[in-house]
Amino acid sequence: MPRTTDPHEDDLDTIPPPQPVFHIEQALLGALLLDPQHLGNVTGIASDSFSTAAHAALFSAIRSLPAPDPVQHATNAKWLDEVLTAAREHARGLSASYLHSLIQVCPWPRHASAYARIVEAEHSRRRLCAAAQRLTQTSRDTSAPQRVVTTLAEADALTAVVDDIAARFPPHSGSLPRTPAPTPATTHNEEAVEEERLLLATATAYPSSVEHMRWLTPADFTHPLHAGLWQCLTTLTRRSIPVDPVTVLWEAQHRGLLDTGARPRELLDLLDGTAGSPEYWGERILQRSVLASAHHIGLRIEAFTEDPATTAYQLVVGSRRALADLSAVRTRWQQAASPASTSKAARTRATAAPRAGPPRTTAAPTARISR
């Protein structure tokens, strides 16, 4: 018979137990309440470093009030009453009994600086997690007018958080996180597939542009077949071999792309039909790659912070390595979007001699599609 839930029954099993840092915060506050003189040894933290509003209010009250005379503090609770009154302005649920329980649970008041160091480390973890979540959310925000610019700004903010944590906790050599990296999302995007097809067809028709698009790599493509065909195009242009759908098909055979189930006629049809310029479609593909990389890197760093076994030192090393991957994609994006590369590619298309081939069914791309 199913168990009937009593609305007046307290189901304490549904309340998660407090994290270890909660008990460490209690020990720190207990040490400061018992011996306020230890506050001078507590550095690197502020009221927002604590995980609960009550603990934050208590620490703020302790810091704001003058330290009592040690002899008088040992004989009466006047200073504790002043701390409680000040803290209650921000946390009304505090009681005198809770302050006394904090004093009782503190093992060694002289270890206050060590407790504060742990609180600082856990606060750094929460800060890093929040910054990583902002990066992840921004990379998926389709309402932003300039998604790449906004996303990279959040990446810079995340980098600043990592640098600040590194200044507080200089990383040790070889201290990499042991947390497994999350699997990249492989959602099907028909718009991305179509843009990749248009790039391949247009680049096959105007291969002189491929030489100046080294900022685009096979890893930027969402479809493995399209990534392989882009490798075929870059290989043919690098070897100065004539480029057309037939030569690309031949190169694709050598690379084993036909073994994936693609038929020769399908590849020839895919490489036919141009629109716009290769640079335009390439930038579209690279833009999507930047956003996807930022999203995945945000998830990686968030996974580091959610692993309680990851130390502050490992958070710094792992986050910097993840951000380095985003920096590489960012550099290629800046190369693609720079006016110098745009004007150079435009001059190349204007002066290059047209290759021999069948009559065009679409106009040659004399300029980029306006965005």
CATH number of the domain where residue 29 is located: 1.10.860
Residue 302 amino acid letter: E
Do 172 and 134 share a structural domain? Answer: yes
Nearest-CA neighbor of 249 among 275, 278, 228, 224?
228
CATH number for the domain spanning 211: value is 1.10.860.10
Identify the pLDDT of residue 339. Answer: 59
Identify the pLDDT of residue 16. Answer: 76
The pTM (predicted TM-score) of the whole model is 0.81
Identify the pLDDT of residue 11. Answer: 55
Do 37 and 149 share a structural domain? Answer: no
Distance, CA of 63 to CA of 46 (rounded, Å): 9
Q: Where are the alpha helices (DSSP H) in the chain?
A: 20-34, 53-64, 70-75, 78-88, 96-105, 112-139, 147-168, 190-205, 224-238, 245-254, 264-270, 278-306, 312-337, 339-351
DSSP 8-state class, residue 69? P
For 228, residues 6+ apart whose C-beta sits below 8 A from its C-beta are 218, 252, 255, 257
- The answer to whether residue 49 sits within a structural domain is yes
- The answer to whether residue 240 sits within a structural domain is yes
Do 216 and 171 share a structural domain? Answer: yes
Identify the pLDDT of residue 185. Answer: 66
Identify the pLDDT of residue 178. Answer: 80
- The answer to whether residue 175 sits within a structural domain is yes
Do 94 and 237 share a structural domain? Answer: no
Identify the pLDDT of residue 290. Answer: 96
Whole domain around residue 51: which residue ranges? Answer: 18-107
Do 138 and 168 share a structural domain? Answer: yes
Do 95 and 133 share a structural domain? Answer: no
Domain's final residue, options 76, 107, 138: 107
Identify the pLDDT of residue 174. Answer: 65
Residue 150 amino acid letter: T
- The answer to whether residue 174 sits within a structural domain is yes
Q: In this structure, what token pair is assigned to residue 220?
A: 């930027």
Identify the pLDDT of residue 188. Answer: 67
For the chain, 371 residues long, the average pLDDT of each consecutive 10-residue run is 50 71 96 93 94 96 92 89 95 94 94 96 97 96 91 97 94 75 73 94 94 94 94 95 94 88 88 87 95 95 94 93 94 84 44 38 39 33
Distance, CA of 368 to CA of 371 (rounded, Å): 9
Identify the pLDDT of residue 172. Answer: 73
- The answer to whether residue 12 sits within a structural domain is no
| Range 258-296 burial, b when 16+ CB lie within 10 A, else e | beeebeeeebeebbeebebbbbbbbbbbbbbbbbbbbbb
Domain's final residue, options 47, 76, 107: 107
Do 133 and 98 share a structural domain? Answer: no
Distance, CA of 158 to CA of 169 (rounded, Å): 16
Q: In this structure, what token pair is assigned to residue 94?
A: 């505090």
- The answer to whether residue 4 sits within a structural domain is no
| Residues constituting the chain | 371
Q: Degrees (nearest 5) of the Cα angle 151, 289, 246?
A: 160
Please say whether the beta carbons of 206 and 349 come within 8 A: yes
